[in-house]
Structure 1
């Protein structure tokens, strides 16, 4: 018989779920665990049928949820499931101890992507973050095989896959042809590069970014908050209003690059403007809730501009700033152009960028939640008005 391996880790809470099958030896436990306290399960992954990766649509969605919704991640993510031989809980120490013996029976059963992302990201978090850990005890080999199969059953075919099959992304693909990242975009679910790695850019993110510039359906008072809030809603908006996006396509590459430049420039813009006001005596952007500060060789990849950043910037900060530049669009010949031949990146790097960074910073400091910042109509309105005033004064 294999040797028993034990892991002990703190738990914020621990519960045994009573079921009609306790007498048969099947037991189900749930623990809420701080991400930093997750045990090392690298040698206990054999029963998980999927090989988790750090890139691709699923990992990126988990990563974004982790950073943008620090108060809600626990409820938004399904968590991690472990098959174990034994479970015990020490009430005095608030610590869970699990025993694992057989790698064909015990270990990480479900939530492999979540586990890998959390372990990868946790050292860059400056605030507590939690995940749900489910512990299944007393299951035999055949039982576990059935549970793994059921827990890992794929979802129904996503809308983007069906839309791609129908050719609804063809004009978008044409608009982005020749861009360095063109072949990195997944226009359907589980699309891979020639070397077998998942394509790192989700077409839903591209659609969401472009939605922030839909002047036909959004105005100076009605803002495309769904660009940040719901990729599914943006995809449906795109499907119904594809003609509107044809006006945006001539600027698509500029817009995607602008999105990344906001990621890249926002930390310095924020530190500069706060320093001018005497509020900081150095780089404080990294202390905002939701911001990840990467150390050492690790960086955040900005694929639209081919650069890297030392900060993981919540998209709840980026989208209201991005949407503000809708104010400088003009329509000419059935297509959008940058009004008055303005360069949005230069505007970002100037006074407008500092004004937008200050606006985002004020809301972020007050809300202490990137998701609330990204969903706030007041934030979108303030950013848009700042860009509008800059445009009118130019």
Structure 2
């Protein structure tokens, strides 16, 4: 197999112990990564239904920058590699032996990118690092064995070593998903702890107390979410320790929105006399069997979090701190029943590209104002009722 593709930059290194082996480090955009590279060299065939693979797929679909920094990349053994500086095109020769040349390590990364890059908007630029080894003296078998026994340890996993997720575990210990949360890199569990951190970040009223700003990073910046959690840990009071107590309600609200969003979408379309099939929207899948992440409720559609989070985050308008304790002015589920249709309409009237929606500060702010408006109407009605007694 011989393929050409565009690369951003290339670095060349000769092995000090063996000058006959050259390693090329190349960074290429997701959309330029060539299809059809053999995976037969890799002793671990990609299994894309595991919790780790699902996290990887989520990272590919996410608009977060820095994928090439957080991911080890793809290791390829090749017959030859050439880089043409005049047009930034690389030429990769994989020879005729798929058991010798191909993807040695990073098969899951490769498969996740190939299968899911179509979900990225055209203006999203994400890169993956390729490590391409060329040389007649390559011991492919030994390399494969060595590369596939290594493992990265993330900042989140290191945080778990210090037992800094204890109050989260305590807060959700009675929930059905309590034992399904992965706090370590090698936990074969379906809910990465970062998903819980994102829910709390979206309700961080200490950092986002009103509609003047918005917790957009809950969608666009996983690293920013963890950094905020980490930086808040030694604060007194720690906002996340307060928010953790609200996790059961936050999960309930998130899944309520996720479950009912398709129906609300159709309702506002029907009210306006407009046609539109929810399942045909970008970022929405209708063919398959889907369930919610936490409680495994059946879903009619799989919906991009880009549509859900700007609606979900609006309900932080209902959360207030009193005497060091976070309390709800009104039950968010009840307010969802009153404001859900307006929120869904406002969201999809803004844009139907989930990546643009998820990153839109203006939308997050306007959705917040919708919830706050409903809340103020209820408070006014309550005070008027009290005065008339």
1:294–1:310 contact (8 Å) kept in structure 2? yes
Aligned to 1:108: 103
SS of the residue corresponding to residue 154 of structure 1 reads coil
Call closer, same or farther: CA 1:145–1:75 in 2, change over 3 Å: same
What is the CA-CA distance between 1:275 and the residue it aligns to?
A: 4.2
What is the CA-CA distance between 1:147 and the residue it aligns to?
A: 8.4
SS of the residue corresponding to residue 379 of structure 1 reads helix
Say whether residues 1:183 and 2:182 are aligned partners. Answer: no
What is the CA-CA distance between 1:181 and the residue it aligns to?
A: 0.6
What is the CA-CA distance between 1:325 and the residue it aligns to?
A: 0.7
Aligned to 2:259: 264
Call closer, same or farther: CA 1:111–1:72 in 2, change over 3 Å: same
Instruction: State how far apart, in whole Å, the 2-side matches of 1:35 and 1:264 are.
Output: 36
SS of the residue corresponding to residue 240 of structure 1 reads coil
Aligned to 1:324: 314
In structure 1, runs of 5+ residues without a counterpart are 1-5, 192-197
Aligned to 1:117: 112
Aligned to 1:375: 359
Call closer, same or farther: CA 1:247–1:13 in 2, change over 3 Å: closer
2:265–2:344 contact (8 Å) kept in structure 1? yes
Call closer, same or farther: CA 1:18–1:171 in 2, change over 3 Å: closer
Call closer, same or farther: CA 1:215–1:32 in 2, change over 3 Å: closer
Aligned to 2:387: none
Aligned to 1:195: none
Aligned to 1:293: 285
Task: Map Cα deviations across residues 118-156 of structure 1 (whole Å, 9 max, x no partner).
Answer: 45557x85978987584544353337745874697434x
Task: Map Cα deviations across residues 158-202 of structure 1 (whole Å, 9 max, x no partner).
Answer: 3433433333322221110121110011123322xxxxxx11112
SS of the residue corresponding to residue 95 of structure 2 reads strand
Task: Map Cα deviations across residues 339-358 of structure 1 (whole Å, 9 max, x no partner).
Answer: 24x3x23433x452222222
Say whether residues 1:392 and 2:387 are aligned partners. Answer: no
Aligned to 2:206: 216
Call closer, same or farther: CA 1:267–1:81 in 2, change over 3 Å: farther
Say whether residues 1:142 and 2:139 are aligned partners. Answer: yes
Call closer, same or farther: CA 1:147–1:18 in 2, change over 3 Å: farther
SS of the residue corresponding to residue 164 of structure 1 reads helix
Report 1:354-365 matches (<5 A): 354-365=341-352
- 1:172 paired residue among 161, 168, 174: 168
Call closer, same or farther: CA 1:116–1:222 in 2, change over 3 Å: same
Call closer, same or farther: CA 1:167–1:333 in 2, change over 3 Å: same
Aligned to 1:225: 216
Aligned to 1:281: 275
Cα RMSD (Å): 4.2
Task: Map Cα deviations across residues 318-374 of structure 1 (whole Å, 9 max, x no partner).
Answer: 22222211112244664333324x3x23433x4522222223223334xx461x433
Say whether residues 1:13 and 2:10 are aligned partners. Answer: no
Call closer, same or farther: CA 1:146–1:37 in 2, change over 3 Å: closer
Aligned to 1:80: 74
Call closer, same or farther: CA 1:38–1:189 in 2, change over 3 Å: same
Q: Which runs of 4+ in 1 moved over 6 A?
A: 70-78, 94-97, 126-131
Instruction: State how far apart, in whole Å, the 2-side matches of 1:37 and 1:187 are.
Output: 34
Aligned to 1:3: none
Aligned to 2:63: 69
Instruction: State how far apart, in whole Å, the 2-side matches of 1:177 and 1:15 are.
Output: 47
Aligned residue pairs, count: 361
What is the CA-CA distance between 1:101 and the residue it aligns to?
A: 1.7
1:270–1:285 contact (8 Å) kept in structure 2? no
Call closer, same or farther: CA 1:240–1:373 in 2, change over 3 Å: farther
In structure 2, runs of 5+ residues without a counterpart are 379-389
1:227–1:234 contact (8 Å) kept in structure 2? no
